[in-house]
Chains A and B, each alone.
Chain A
Amino acid sequence: MNFQSSSKQDFKVVGTRVARPDGVDKVTGRALYGADFNVPGCQVGLILRSPHAHARIDNIDTSEALALPGVKAVVTSADWGVPEDEGLRDVQDNCLARGKVLYDGHAVAAVAAKDMVTARAALKLIRVDYTPLPHVTDVDEAMKPDAPVVQEARADESVPEGSGPNVTHYCEFGHGDLDAGFAKADTVIERSFTTAATHQGYIEPHACVASYGNDGKADLWCTTQGQYLVRDLCAGIMGMEGSQLRVTPSEIGGGFGGKTTVFIEPVALALSRKAGRPVKIVMSRVDVFRATGPTVSSSMDVRIGMTKDGRITAGEAKLRYQGGAFPCGTVDMGAQAAFAAYDMEAVRTRGWNALTNRPKEAAYRAPGAPMAIYAVESVVDELCQQLELDPLDVRLKNAADAGTKASYGVTFDQIGLRATLEAAKEHAHYHAPLGENQGRGLSCGFWFNFGGNTSVSLAINADGTASVTEGNPDIGGSRASISMMAAEELGIPYDKVRTFITDTGSLGQNDVTDGSRVTFAVGLATIKAARAAIQVMCARAAKIWGIDEDAVIWEDGAAKPSGPNAGDFEPMTLAEIAAISSETGGPIAGHHEVNAEGAGVSFGVHLADVEVDPETGATTVLRYTVFQDAGKAVHPDYVEGQMQGGAAQGIGWALNEEYIYDEDGRLQNAGFLDYRIPVASDLPAIDTVILEIPNPGHPYGVRGVGETPIVPPLAALSNAVSRAVGVRLHELPMSPPKILKAIMAQG
Chain B
Amino acid sequence: MQYMKPQTAAEVSDILARSEGAARILGGGTDLLVQMRSGMIEPETIVDIKHLDGIRDITSEDGGLRIGAAVSGQRLGEHEGAKALWPGVVEACELIGSTQIQGRCTMVGNLCNGGPAADSVPAMIAAAAVVRIEGPDGPRDCPAEDFVTGPGKTVLGKGEFVSSVFLPARPKAASDAYLRFIPRTEMDIAVASAGVNIELADDGTIKSARVAIGAVGPRVILVPDAADAIIGSKLEDPAIAALVRACEAASSPIDDKRGTAEFRTTVVGVLAKRAARIAMTRAGENQ
Contacts and interface: CB of A to CB of B under 8 A. Distances in A.
A741 interface: yes
Interface string A612-648: 0001111000000000000000000000000000000
Contact of A736 (B38, B181, B187, B257): B181
Contacts of A673: 187-189
B267 A616 contact: yes
Interface in A672-711: 673-674, 676, 678-679, 681-682
Contacts of A618: 181, 183
Contacts of A425: none
Given A674-B258, A737-B263, A741-B262, A682 B184 contact: yes
A668 B38 CA distance: 16
A737 B183 CA distance: 9
A345 B188 CA distance: 49
Interface string A568-604: 0000000000000000000000000000000000000
A618 B186 CA distance: 13
Interface string B244-268: 0000000000001111101100110
B270 interface: yes
B263 A740 contact: yes
Contact of B184 (A656, A660, A740, A744): A656
Interface string A643-663: 000000000000110001000
A678 B182 CA distance: 12
B185 A676 contact: no
A741 B187 CA distance: 25
A618 B262 CA distance: 15
B260 A679 contact: no
Given A120-B39, A615-B270, A676 B183 contact: yes
A244 interface: no
A656 B183 contact: yes
A668 B257 contact: yes
B184 A736 contact: no
Contacts of B267: 615-616, 736, 740
A737 B184 CA distance: 13
A674 B184 CA distance: 10
A660 B256 CA distance: 10
A618 B39 CA distance: 34
B279 to A, nearest CB: 18
Interface string B174-192: 0000000101111111010
A735 interface: yes
B260 A737 contact: yes
Contact of A735 (B183, B185, B189, B256): B183
A736 B263 contact: yes
A740 B187 CA distance: 22
Given A616-B270, A674-B257, A741-B262, A681 B181 contact: no
Nearest to A744: B266
Contacts of A617: 263
Given A660-B257, A741-B263, A681 B185 contact: yes
Contacts of B181: 616, 618, 736
Given A616-B270, A740-B266, A741-B262, A669 B184 contact: no
Nearest to A683: B185
A657 to B, nearest CB: 10
Interface string A470-501: 00000000000000000000000000000000
Nearest to B191: A736
A291 B238 CA distance: 53
Contacts of B184: 656, 676, 678-679, 681-682
19 contacts: A120-B39, A286-B38, A615-B267, A616-B181, A616-B267, A617-B263, A618-B181, A655-B183, A656-B183, A668-B257, A678-B184, A681-B185, A736-B181, A736-B183, A736-B267, A737-B263, A740-B263, A741-B260, A741-B262
Interface of A: 120, 286, 615-618, 655-656, 660, 668-669, 673-674, 676, 678-679, 681-682, 735-737, 740-741, 744
Given A737-B263, A740-B266, 19 more contacts: A286-B38, A615-B266, A615-B270, A616-B181, A616-B270, A656-B184, A668-B256, A668-B257, A673-B189, A674-B258, A679-B184, A736-B181, A736-B183, A736-B263, A737-B259, A737-B260, A737-B262, A741-B262, A741-B263
